[in-house]
Structure 1
Amino acid sequence: MTDLTTASADDRSLRILSTGDLAGIDISLADVVETVEGAYRTLHAGQSDNPRKLTVKPADGHSVAYAMLGRDGCRDVVAIKTSYKHGLDKGRDEQHYYTSLTVYDDVTGLPLAMMDCSRIGSLRTPAVSALLARECAAPGARSALVIGTGTQGRLALPFLLTTLPDLDRLMLSGTHPEGIAAVREQVRSYFPDREVEVVTDLRAAAGDADVIVATAGGHTPAAVEADWLKPGALSVLVGHGLAPSALHRADRVIATSEAQMNVTGTDMADADGKLPAVDAEFPSVLAGVTAGRGSATERIFAYNSGLVVTDIALGHRFAQLALAQGLGTEVALWR
């Protein structure tokens, strides 16, 4: 059961959780990691459904839209997430991005909530990268490099420190002063005793890093090549910042979903337009069915594409916290 059966007044109303509503909810990084990990384990157990996402993109590539439907069998909820980004051919300040999540109780049949999904995504994605690092980084990993200072880059280091607390060198590659300042502020707010080292020599930094998380935007010139990486390095691709060779020459390839990687990872294809086969999907790694790595010296490439079941789990968690605080607005949507 969802424990949210009172979230909506009746079957014709819907609780709307705005950006401001969700911004006021306090949730720990450990809570987020636990919620996301639980969603993966439930999916691997066959209790949840996560169909392939639908994608719409015009020929000139100026926008992209996704629709993702899923069911969480542990929470007994069904949800659909939509994502739309416009202005991919323009600078960051000229782009528009909207994403939402609508959740329904699959026991009562009633709608639970519709919410802005931007904060959920900004937490879920770095939590997945941190789980990938926990399961796939070489034993004794001590250094991490994050490429990019946008939404996904700003919490990457705090989440990595949550799952790999022994990291003692935190490197950041970025070009936007406000983004660099935001990353430092996020690390300071969660881990006041840790410092972030801004690097300008990407090749040298990549060669020193045990874990690399690439979160940069599509216009980044950063592209870490396979021969820059040290033995045992783990490279996690979220956005951009890794060259295709980091994937094609990896000793082992892990993906949150091979099907989604084949849909959204086409920019990493080789000269023949092909992607390599995935050695393991991450839900099976978390469940202990498949090893995250085979040896301490393997160079591992991990593709972090969002699975809607993780959005559902975290969105449901936010809805629980919001309801407890009386947040949100009831809208008679179907009257």
Structure 2
Amino acid sequence: MSQSYAAPGQLWLLPQSEQEVLGFDYRRVLEVVERTYRAVDTSGPNSPVKTIIDDPDDHSLSYSMVAKDVASDTVCFKAVYEFDPARTRDGYRFHSFIFIADDTTGAPIALMDVVKLGPLRSSATSALFARAACPDARSALVVGTGVQGQMALPMLLAALPELDRLQVFGTYADGLRAVQNSVDGREVTIADDLRKAVGEADIVIGASGLSVTETVQREWMKPGALAVLLGYGVHDVFHGADYRIATNITQMHITCGKLRAADGSLPPVDAELPDILLGRAPARRNPDDVVFAYNSGMAVTDAALGRYIADLALAAGRGNRVDFW
């Protein structure tokens, strides 16, 4: 981009308030994320796995990632800190940011809050899983009503516009209303019987938090359905699924501690999303397979979407520049 993000010695700050006013095109977000995953296979080691500190008593969760999106020559450094992730102490705190830089000029681009970016890239990944594994899907259920749950249906509709039955299951009235209001002109039904709703859904998105009170069981899934683990809520499907896919198997083994069986084992994963998108691996073996998708996200998509959001913000004249270096 010919325009300057910040003058030499300055750092451009893009907090949540400066991003909320930007108009995100969900179809464009899907394109950016899909392009990024397609490039992962041939771009070399540009998205190392996470470095994680995960306290066994769920006191806090911290992790960091670094990645490079080769398509936009953008480097990303991401840090996340969650305090009380299980919401057991009534003191939950979430703080995260990414720093992105232009790897063609060496210039910093921005320091960004990721409250908007994270759900965008995660929901786009879920939608790509859904389009690959259930291209003819007509019904979807979101389990969970937090930020991820509220973004899931709009992104699914961007990928699968023929969806005509949308349901949400959750326990918080405000969250349920937010999910219902997330898709203009479309009806979203609140499910009061999780088992029944799961049995009717082609796509089930597990977007609950650690404090989830009711989880989807494998036996409830109908033949040919897909369960995507975006947060919590569909763990039981993992071990009983007929076919398993993930964004990245190595990263999954680092981040999926709560999915392990009592003996610490994990069933094999059959395919990774980049290979599926490139046509090198199928998204399912048989039409009746119950497919489980592990959506762990990859920092390379943070880099790509960070650049996309930064360019939107630059065009809109948003953000604040401070003398930093």
Per the normalisation by structure 1, the TM-score is 0.93
Question: Hey, what's the Cα distance between the residues in 2 that align with 1:23 and 1:89?
Answer: 27
Rounded Cα–Cα distance in structure 1 between residues aligned with 2:253 and 2:2: 36
8 Å CA contact 2:180–2:189 kept in 1: the answer is: no
Would you say the 8 A contact 1:48–1:74 is kept in 2? no
Task: Answer yes or no: is the 8 Å Cα contact 2:86–2:211 preserved in 1.
Answer: no
What residue in structure 2 maps to residue 214 of structure 1? 206
For 1:239, what is the secondary structure of its paired residue? coil
Aligned-pair CA distance for 1:47 = 5.6
Q: Which residue of 2 aligns with 1:130?
A: 127
Residue 292 (structure 2) aligns with: 301
C-alpha spacing 1:59/1:142, structure 2 compared with 1 (3 Å): closer
Specify which of 42, 46, 61 is matched with residue 45 of structure 1: 42
User: Residue 5 of structure 1: CA displacement?
Assistant: 6.2
Distance 1:14 1:316, change over 3 A: same
- Deviation string, structure 1 residues 185-215 (Cα, Å, up to 9, x no partner): 1113xxx1x2111111111111111110000
Q: Helix, strand or coil for the counterpart of 2:211?
A: coil
- The answer to whether the Cα contact below 8 Å between 1:81 and 1:99 also exists between their aligned partners in 2 is yes
**8 Å CA contact retained: 1:4, 1:112:** no
CA-to-aligned-CA distance 1:192-251 (integer Å, 9 cap, x gap): 1x211111111111111111000001111221111111111101001111133x111211
Q: In structure 2, what is the equivalent of residue 320 of structure 1?
A: 311
1:291 is aligned, of 250, 266, 282, to 282
Give me the whole-angstrom Cα distance separating, in 2, the residues matched to 1:221 and 1:85.
20
Query: Is 1:205 aligned to residue 197 of structure 2?
Result: yes
Instruction: Note the C-alpha offset of 1:104.
Output: 1.0
The 3 A distance-change label for structure 1 pair 325 and 243 is: closer
Q: Structure 1: any 5+ residue segments left out of the alignment?
A: none
Aligned length: 325
Alignment-derived partner of residue 232 in structure 2: 240
Distance 2:132 2:95 in 1: 32
CA contact under 8 A between 1:42 and 1:48: conserved in structure 2?
A: no
Residue 52 of structure 2 aligns with which residue? 55
| 1:274 counterpart residue number | 265
Q: For 1:100, what is the secondary structure of its paired residue?
A: strand
CA distance in 1, matches of 2:2, 2:118: 22
How far did residue 93 of structure 1 move? 6.0
Aligned pair partner of 2:105 in 105, 108, 127: 108
- Does the CA-based 8 Å contact 1:48-1:309 persist in structure 2? no
Secondary structure of the structure 2 residue equivalent to 1:200: coil
Deviates more, 1:300-309 or 1:71-80: 71-80
Gap regions ≥5 residues in structure 2: none
**1:203 match: secondary structure:** helix
Q: Which amino acid aligns with 1:229?
A: M
Task: Output the CA distance in 2 between the equivalents of 1:324 and 1:214.
Answer: 35
| C-alpha distance 4-90 of structure 1, shift in aligned 2 (>3 A) | farther
Cα distance, 1:270 vs structure 2: 1.1
Residue 256 in structure 1 maps to residue 253 in structure 2: no
Q: Distance in 2 between matches of 1:330 and 1:133?
A: 39
Tell whether 2:77 aligns with 1:80.
yes
Residue number among 6, 15, 26 corresponding to 1:8 in the alignment: 6
1:235-278: per-residue Cα shift (whole Å, max 9, x none)? 1001111133x111211110011112112211111121111121
CA contact (8 A) 1:67 1:83 kept: yes
Shift of 1:324: 1.5
Matched, 1:19 2:10: no
8 A contact 1:51–1:69 mirrored in 2: yes
Code of the aligned partner of 1:7: Y
User: 1:103–1:112: 8 Å Cα contact kept in structure 2?
Assistant: yes
Structure 2 counterpart of 1:55, one-letter code: I
Query: Aligned-pair RMSD on alpha carbons?
Result: 1.5
1:273-296 CA-partner distances (Å, limit 9, x unpaired): 111121111011111111111221
Q: Percent identity at matched positions?
A: 41
Structure 1 position 327, deviation (Å): 1.5
1:181 matched residue in structure 2? 177
1:158 counterpart = 2:154: yes
Say if 2:260 and 2:266, in contact at 8 Å, map to a contact too: yes
Amino acid at match of 1:118: V
Q: 2:67 corresponds to which letter in structure 1? A: G
Instruction: Show the counterpart of 1:145.
Output: 141
The residue type equivalent to 1:204 in the other structure is K
Note the alpha carbon deviations across 1:292-318, whole angstroms, 9 max, x for none: 112211110000011001111111001
Number of the residue aligned with 1:228: 220
Does 2:31 correspond to 1:34?
yes
Is the contact made by 2:229 and 2:235 (CA closer than 8 Å) also made in structure 1? no
